Structure formats: structure tokens, C-alpha cells
Amino acid sequence: MEGNEAVAEGAIAGGCRAFFGYPITPQSQIPEYMSWRMPQVGGIYLQAESEVAAINMVYGAAAAGARVMTSSSSPGISLMQEGLSYMLGAEITGVVVDIARGGPGLGNIGAAQSDYWITTRGAGHGDGSTLVLAPYSVQELHDITAESFELSERFRLPVTVLGDAYLGQMREPCLLRPVGDAPLARQLGWTVGGGLEGRDRHIVNSLWTNLEVMEQMNLRMADRLARAKAELTRWEEYGAPEPEIVLCAYGIMARVCETVVDWCLERGIAAKLFRPISLVPFPDQAIRSLAGRAKHCLVVELSLGQFIEDIRLSVQGLCPVSHYGRTGGVVCTPEDVLDHVVEILGR
Amino acid sequence: MRGEPIYECPEALTDTPLRYCPGCTHGIAHRLVAETIDQLGVRDRTVAVASVGCSVYAYEYFNTDSVQAAHGRAPAVATGIKRVRPDAVVFTYQGDGDLAAIGLGEVLQAATRAENITVIFINNGVFGMTRGQMAPTTLLGQKTTTTPAGRTVAEAGFPLDVCRILDQIDGVAYLSRETAIDPKHVMRAQKAVRKAFQAQLDGLGFSLVEILSTCPHCWHMSPIEALEHVRTEVIARYPLKVFRDPYAEKPSADSGATRTE
């Protein structure tokens, strides 16, 4: 199954019954798939007139109690920032999938990881962040997308699933989760439109003109992010138990670095892959612990240096942190990464 | 001796004091919408979508479930609500800065989709909350804080007539331009609002009522002068008209006719 299709089936398995989308390569297969699949499961599909409209439809549908998703790619994600900020401010749920491509600007349709900052450093203006999860296989795209809806509701935060052009368009075996019955919309303690009988009216709103009330709202969101840090922080390690060098990579570059670690071990180099799965919350303690025992951290990413900032902040100088990245849709090969490892270690 | 009350606050309005300036007809428009909701008996399933601008606090005034939308995005937000809650009665309440400027795309596309929602469009020709900058609907020659010498075609183009644009869109079920400058027009406007909501209840598609409103503060007029300005100047540029009415008794003869005032 293709990664984009696995995302769509994952959403359906996760109870998503409303999808608002807009075509953009390399993720157009998601709205295409949803356009025929959603009616089959009693859901609704709507092609919005823009990414701006799509995310605001998500906002409305989430406010009305739907498990709802949109998907896009880098330039479209830029346009969705406005709506995401409102969703954060209004404390509502929803899932956004970013199958990222090269940029800035219109860029290209190659795989890139240069959306790290736009997805992890908040969502639009204001003082908050969505949860950000970064799968590295078709199976994980499926599973993480499915789970995102429950996570979004548990923490009352939108969830961003961050993939890239390679992940979205590659084909791998995928064990699909069962699709159960799910309602178009549910009435939760804060949702609108489910009928006013027996309850107070609900207001979904992000306007807080009282400064202290606004601050309290932001602090409430910070508390939920802190709770997510305790409950949701995820990463994987692969390779030597006591590494001399730690390769730090997520998403598609973690796939490449798994190969590099295998090659290193064959050469007698104690290498380990550190792969964050949750980018927000970031597994800072895990990489700090590894860095305290290693000689070097090599950050490998498809950007000129975004992910490395979180590694540096986490490592806090316990060992040198260096960077190898390609940009603009060019992908680092295992050979390139191995060369950097050899150069760093001097052998 | 006390008799039966002949005038009460609609149930669909809260008792929150309105923040609107003296002489602004937002308050009348709120009441028209609230009375309609009461008359149709749909308050328990109505969702108001408040916008940005002077009407941003609509969620505090309408005694219904409410969502506050980003500037111009109310029709998209309403679409999301309506699609997953088809039984809900969903309306947006938007000013001209919101709907005719940043939000023109959203309202046109919602109309094109025949989205089964109702839009209440308050047109006072300026960005009121931000103290009176030019809006797309600002009249030629009208002085605003960003057209200090008066709006000219050379600098800012022509005033935008939203209803004339919408009148070309197949998905529009009900469309009318009204005002609230005197009791006669208020009563006409109420009929229009009622029909717009009825069109949604009947699943006929997109409905919109434009209400030519006043902004005495930004217009630098007294409330009386502002009402007269609408009567003499604004209506001349934006004639009152029922553009589309699926409930008209004689659709061929009257519904498309411009009323002469």
C-alpha cells in the first residue's frame, strides 16, 4: 500500500468521518482516496477552495464534534497556519497531515524535512503548539494517523502528522487496523450543534481580551503540552548498546540511517540511531542520556539545520553535535552519511 | 393595570449589554435574527458563527451554541459545522470588512456549493472596529481614515456590490438587500431574515441577507444623520432589492424588481 493511502485508511480506522482537503503534490492521493472511501463508511468528504478554507472547515467540523482531518504539503501547510492557531486558541481537536516537499516558496515535489520549524515551533501566531508525530514507514503512517484522533481529544490539541514525499509515495506492506462504526459527530463537553436540550450553550472561541484570562488560557495549553510530554514522548533507538556515535534522524532519514548503523556495526563502529517519533513533545531526556555516554552526535536531516536545534538544546553540550543535511528535495544517501561518520571518528 | 407584554427580549438573545455604538443598527440586526430563531423554534439546534470586527462578540449576544471564526472565514467554518451536523441551523454574522474583503472567496465558494447555511451580512461601508478604514464597499468620494481625501476610482477602484455578484451564482437560494433605518424597513428586513432561515430549514441552499447599516462614529455623523445618509446616499449605490426568493408569490413579476424608495 502507498503511504498516502495508508494515512487515509489509518484516519478511517481512527474514527475520522470528515475530511476537508485541497490538492497538492505529493499528498493528493489522500484527498483522492478519501473522496471515494469516506462515503463508504458514512463520512463526508469535501474539496475545499483553498487550504485556508480547508483548515477552517476542519475547525468548524471539530467544533461540532467530528473526528476530522485535512492533509496538505509544505506551501499548503503555510496557508493553514491561521486556522491552526485558531484551533489552538479555541482548544479544539483535529488532525493535519503534512507530506512535506522541497521549499521555500513553491519549491518542488521532492522529499524534504524543512517543515520541521513550521510544524514544531507553534502553529501560526501565538504561544502554543500542536502535537507533532513523525512516522518513518508506511505502517507507522497508518498506525500513527489512526491514533492521532484519540490523542488530539485526550490532550485537546490538534495533532500534526509530519511525513515527506518519500514516505507518502512509497509502497510497503501495511497491516490495516479494523474499521469500526463511528459517528459523523459526537457531542462532547464543549462541542456545538448537538442540540441544547439539557445543557448550557457551548461557545468555541479564541478571543480573550482580558490579559490575565488570555494568559491563563495559554498556561492551560502549556499544562496539556506538559502532560503530553509525560504521557506521549516517543522515540526509538537502534544499534550499539553503548554507542560512540549517535545518528539522530527522524522520518525518512531514519530509514536511511538504519542502514548506516548496520554498515557501521559491520565495520566495528559502535553506532546507534536515535529516532524521535514524537517531535512535540520532544524526547530530550532520551537523547541527553545517550549523548552523555557517546563521543559524538551526528544529526542527519533533509534541511540545512532545523531538527538539529532540538538535538543541541537537549544535549546541552555533553558531546559535540554536528550536522549533515541536504536540502531542496535532495536526499542523503547511506554512503554519504557513512562518509561523515568515518570522517568524524577519524577511521 | 398590567396587560400582556407586547415587546420582550427574544429568548435567542442573552441579557449581555450590546457593545455597539449609539446609532449603529447592529443591535437591530441582532434582534431580527434572534426573533427569527425564536419564531422558527430552532434555538436549541442553532449555531451562530461570529466573525471578526464589530460583530466579533456575537457569540456573547446570541443565546445559542456559537463558534468564533477567523477574519473572513466564517462561511468555511459554517460549512464544517453544517456538513457534520446537517440538522443544525447554522448562520454566520459578518460585516463588510470581513465578508467583502478578506472573506470574499469563502462566501462566494460557499454560495457556489449551495452550502445550506445562512449569512447575515452587515454592510456599513467601513472597517468599523478598527476605526473606519476603507472597505471594499466604501462609496466613491467617501472619506475614511485610509481615504482621507475621499475614495477615488484611480486609487481604490469601485465599490463592491456583493449581492450583484452572488446573484450570478446558481447555489444561492435566497438573496436580499435590506436596511434597518426605520420601522418600515426593519419589518421588511425581518421578513427577509425569516425567509433566509426558512430556505435553510427547507434545504434549498445558500441564503444571504445584506443589511445596509450605519456607523455614525466612523462616518463622523450623528445617529440621525447616519440614518439619513443610508437613505439618501448608500441606498442609491446599493439599491434595496429581493434578488432571489423561492417563496415569492409572483416570482416572475415582483421578486427581481428593484424597490424604489
* pTM metric for this prediction: 0.96
Q: What is the pLDDT of residues A291-319, one digit of tens each?
A: 999 999 999 999 999 999 999 999 999 99
Contact criterion met (CB < 8 Å) for A60 and B78: yes
B68 touches chain A (CB under 8 A): yes
- Distance CA(A184)–CA(A31), nearest Å, equals 18
CB atoms within 10 A of CB B168: 9
B34 touches chain A (CB under 8 A): no
Among B64, B79, B84, whose Cβ lies nearest the Cβ of A184? B84
Instruction: State residue B225's pLDDT score.
Output: 98
Smallest CA–CA separation between B145 and chain A, in Å? 25
Smallest CA–CA separation between A104 and chain B, in Å? 25
Q: DSSP assignment of A69-122, as one string?
A: EEEE-HHHHHHHHHHHHHHHHTT---EEEEEE-S-STT--SS---TTHHHHHS-
Can you tell me whether residue B66 is helix, strand or coil?
Answer: strand
- Distance CA(A192)–CA(A204), nearest Å, equals 8
Contact criterion met (CB < 8 Å) for B69 and A56: yes
Q: The C-alpha cell of A316 is what? A: 546541552
A286 touches chain B (CB under 8 A): no
Q: What is the pLDDT of residues A103-121, one digit of tens each?
A: 999 999 999 999 999 999 9
Contact criterion met (CB < 8 Å) for B76 and A48: yes
* Backbone φ, ψ for residue A125 (5° rounding): -75, 160
Among B44, B65, B80, whose Cβ lies nearest the Cβ of A20? B80
- Encode chain B (261 residues) as per-residue pLDDT tens digits: 678 888 889 999 999 999 999 999 999 999 999 999 999 999 999 999 999 999 999 999 999 999 999 999 999 999 999 999 999 999 999 999 999 999 999 999 999 999 999 999 999 999 999 999 999 999 999 999 999 999 999 999 999 999 999 999 999 999 999 999 999 999 999 999 999 999 999 999 999 999 999 999 999 999 999 999 999 999 999 999 999 999 998 655 554 555 544
CA dihedral sign, ordered B31, B37, B43, B49:
negative
**What residues in A contact B56, CB-CB < 8 Å?**
207
A201 touches chain B (CB under 8 A): yes
- ipTM for the assembly: 0.97
B208 touches chain A (CB under 8 A): no
Give me the helices (H) in chain B, please. 26-40, 58-61, 74-84, 96, 104-112, 153-156, 162-166, 183-201, 216-219, 223-229, 235-237
Instruction: State residue A347's pLDDT score.
Output: 79
- Distance CA(A310)–CA(A280), nearest Å, equals 10
Residue tagged 571518528 (cell numbers): A345
Length of chain A in terms of residues written: 347
Instruction: State residue B261's pLDDT score.
Output: 45
Contact criterion met (CB < 8 Å) for A57 and B79: yes
Q: What is the pLDDT of residues B198-252, one digit of tens each?
A: 999 999 999 999 999 999 999 999 999 999 999 999 999 999 999 999 999 865 5
Instruction: State residue B260's pLDDT score.
Output: 46
CB atoms within 10 A of CB B143: 17
Which of A57, A187, A200 to substitute to test the interface with B, most B CBs within 10 Å? A57
Distance of CA A23 to the CA centre of its chain: 19
Backbone φ/ψ region at B179: left (φ over 0), alpha (ψ -120 to 50), beta: beta
Nearest residue to A326 (alpha-carbon basis) of A121, A165, A117, A114: A114
Contact criterion met (CB < 8 Å) for B80 and A61: yes
The alpha carbon torsion through A40, A42, A48, A54 (nearest 10 deg) reads -120
Contact criterion met (CB < 8 Å) for A57 and B45: no
Smallest CA–CA separation between A52 and chain B, in Å? 8
**What residues in A contact B105, CB-CB < 8 Å?**
49-50, 53
**What residues in B contact A123, CB-CB < 8 Å?**
none
Residue of A nearest to B53 (CA): A207
Smallest CA–CA separation between B131 and chain A, in Å? 18
Average pLDDT score, chain A: 97
Contact criterion met (CB < 8 Å) for B88 and A66: no
User: Which residues of chain A fall below pLDDT 70?
Assistant: none
Residue of A nearest to B43 (CA): A196
Smallest CA–CA separation between B156 and chain A, in Å? 26
B83 touches chain A (CB under 8 A): yes
How many Cβ pairs closer than 8 A exist between chain A and B?
A: 133
Smallest CA–CA separation between A145 and chain B, in Å? 20
Nearest residue to A205 (alpha-carbon basis) of A44, A92, A56, A53: A92
A285 touches chain B (CB under 8 A): no
CB atoms within 10 A of CB A105: 9
Q: The C-alpha cell of A39 is what? A: 462515503
